[in-house]
Amino acid sequence: MIKDELQESITEKHARIGVIGLGYVGLPLIVEFALKGFDSTGFEVDEKKAAEVNAGRSYIVDVTGETLSKAVDSGKLSATTDFSKLGECDVVIICVPTPLRKTKDPDMSYILTAGGEIQKYMRRGQLVILESTTYPGTTDEVLQPMFEEKGFKLDEDFLLAFSPERVDPGNPQFQTHNIPKVVGGVSSDSTEIAALLYSQIVESVHPVSSARVAEAAKLWENTFRAINIGMANEMAKVCNALGIDTWEVVNAAATKPFGFMPFYPGPGIGGHCIPLDPHYLSWKARQHGFDSKFISLAEQINSTMPNYVVELVSTALNEEKRSLNGSKVLVLGVAYKKDIDDMRESPALSIIDLLRADGAEVEYHDPFVAEVTFDHAYTIGEAEPLFNQELTDDLISTSDCVVICTEHSNVDYDRVCSLAKVVVDTRNALGKETRDGSKARVVRL
Ligand SMILES: NC(=O)c1ccc[n+]([C@@H]2O[C@H](COP(=O)([O-])OP(=O)(O)OC[C@H]3O[C@@H](n4cnc5c(N)ncnc54)[C@H](O)[C@@H]3O)[C@@H](O)[C@H]2O)c1
């Protein structure tokens, strides 16, 4: 029985693990397996990433070079671009991107390519797990038929499961090993064996009755965040209209020990998850004749936050008798969240675009991001790339307005406030003391 064979090889740590896609999700995952003594092979299309892994050099914030080197030096971890080695693996885990098309429909091409590679080299006895975030039904509607087409039978020849990844890059408290893992197989054998596998590397595994439940649970989690951030953004606009301090309000509400969970407003949502994942759910719901209104509304509010920030900048400059057109604007922080270098879907891109479209001269400083390029998806103004500028006294004092888009920890906000003319703070990065003692005029979201 394939179930018994896999059970034994996993328990004895003989199972060979393959991970397809060594990005924010795949690299920390494969390192955990290697450090627990499993022979682990990473499959990448990007030759540079494969070479970096083999050299023990990490390009992912949650994996230190030291940890990666330890895994590589132990002989348990290697990376390759040769997908024929997939046939040597007992377990194959897919961690490829799941972006949206321009139409905001799911782009399944990465999952299809990875599934195609598995299909090509598949042999009897493998467990395949999909981790990429996707709509309910992907695992059993898309992957299962690909493997069956090859003549393999579920439970007799292969097992198949979905297990969502919940990694939060840059979060020092929760990392792969201590984030509970939801696991749902397309058969009960698949659930059982996939749960056994993850219990080797994570502290808590939560099995569910199907892959679809696991797929939907991930989308529920991220839709919950998108909608609550949408509400926080709307509350910020309401508070501003009423002349009440948004941050004082949310911090006061957050003292309630039950029934309230604080979400904070910001310049818009970014990253590979929150802006995208709810669309996977609404797309699938639409196919079943259901229109998910909360998702649309949150999207509408969140995606227009960059415009709101630019309005705040424009108004602040106006009060200084200046127009946006011709003003020098310094954007502080361009990554989508603090203390990481991830630029995917960062609202700072839209803000810079909108500022430049209105004639502002924009520079940016971000200790984590050396260069910002603008592809056609973002650009409505100039498409010239921008380069990180050193945060000199001169840069701050000669800017007409400083806009804090990301509240990185290693920026001296006291110095910014002592030199700037006007600061628009979209993250509440300036503590109350800094604000009160500030020479600059501070406008907050
Ligand atoms: N980044 C996060 O915080 C996060 C959190 C939870 C879930 N997820 C989900 O996990 C999945 C992966 O996200 P990520 O952030 O790791 O993406 P990523 O872009 O950082 O990494 C994906 C990697 O896959 C590689 N790749 C693409 N096609 C490939 C193929 N056919 N074969 C082999 N490698 C291939 C890319 O080169 C890249 O290195 C997505 O579905 C995402 O929604 C991401």
Per the listing, tokens 């892994």 go with 53
Q: What percent of the chain has pLDDT over 70?
A: 98
The confidence band for 378, taking pLDDT boundaries of 50, 70 and 90, is low
Give a three-class secondary structure readout of 279-297: HHHHHHHHHCCCCCHHHHH
User: What CA–CA distance (Å, rounded) separates 257 from 106?
Assistant: 38
The tally of CA atoms less than 13 A away on the side-chain side of residue 437 is 9
Work out the angle between the directed axes of helices 293-303 and 305-319 (0-180°, nearest 10).
30
Using the predicted structure, report yes or no on whether residue 373 has a pLDDT greater than 80: yes
The confidence band for 167, taking pLDDT boundaries of 50, 70 and 90, is confident
Q: What is the pLDDT of residue 36?
A: 97
Using the predicted structure, report yes or no on whether residue 436 has a pLDDT greater than 90: no
Q: What is the pLDDT of residue 381?
A: 60
Using the predicted structure, report yes or no on whether residue 95 has a pLDDT greater than 90: yes
Per-residue pLDDT reduced to its tens digit, 351-366: 999 999 999 999 999 9
User: What CA–CA distance (Å, rounded) separates 284 from 430?
Assistant: 41
Q: What is the pLDDT of residue 171?
A: 86
The confidence band for 431, taking pLDDT boundaries of 50, 70 and 90, is confident
* Catalytic residue chosen out of the listed positions 89, 239, 273, 405: 273
Q: What is the pLDDT of residue 23?
A: 95
Mean pLDDT of 251-264: 97
Q: What is the pLDDT of residue 66?
A: 96
Q: For residues 63-86, b (16+ Cβ closer than 10 Å) or e, as one string?
A: beeebbebbbeeebbbbbeebeeb
Q: What is the pLDDT of residue 102?
A: 82
Q: What is the pLDDT of residue 120?
A: 97
* Strands, E assignment, 288-427: 328-332, 361-365, 371-372, 386-387, 401-404, 422-425
Atom 11 of ligand 1, nearest CA residue: 132
Substitution candidate for ligand 1 out of 19, 24, 62 with most atoms within 8 A of CB: 24
Per-residue pLDDT reduced to its tens digit, 308-344: 999 999 999 999 999 999 999 999 999 999 999 999 9
Q: What is the pLDDT of residue 61?
A: 84
Using the predicted structure, report yes or no on whether residue 294 has a pLDDT greater than 90: yes
Atom 43 of ligand 1, nearest CA residue: 133
Q: What is the pLDDT of residue 382?
A: 57
Q: What is the pTM of this model?
A: 0.93
Using the predicted structure, report yes or no on whether residue 94 has a pLDDT greater than 70: yes
Between the CA of 96 and the centroid of ligand 1 the distance, in Å, is: 4
Q: What is the pLDDT of residue 52?
A: 98
In terms of Cα–Cα distance, which of 327, 335, 318 is closest to 405? 335
Task: Between 61 and 389, name the one with better pLDDT.
Answer: 389
- Max intra-chain CA distance, the chain: 78
Q: Is the CB of 132 under 6 A from ligand 1?
A: yes
Per-residue pLDDT reduced to its tens digit, 139-152: 999 999 999 999 99
Mean pLDDT of 253-268: 97
Atom 39 of ligand 1, nearest CA residue: 23
In terms of Cα–Cα distance, which of 265, 245, 232, 422 is closest to 347? 265
Q: What is the pLDDT of residue 2?
A: 94
Q: What is the pLDDT of residue 439?
A: 84
Q: Is the CB of 94 under 6 A from ligand 1?
A: no
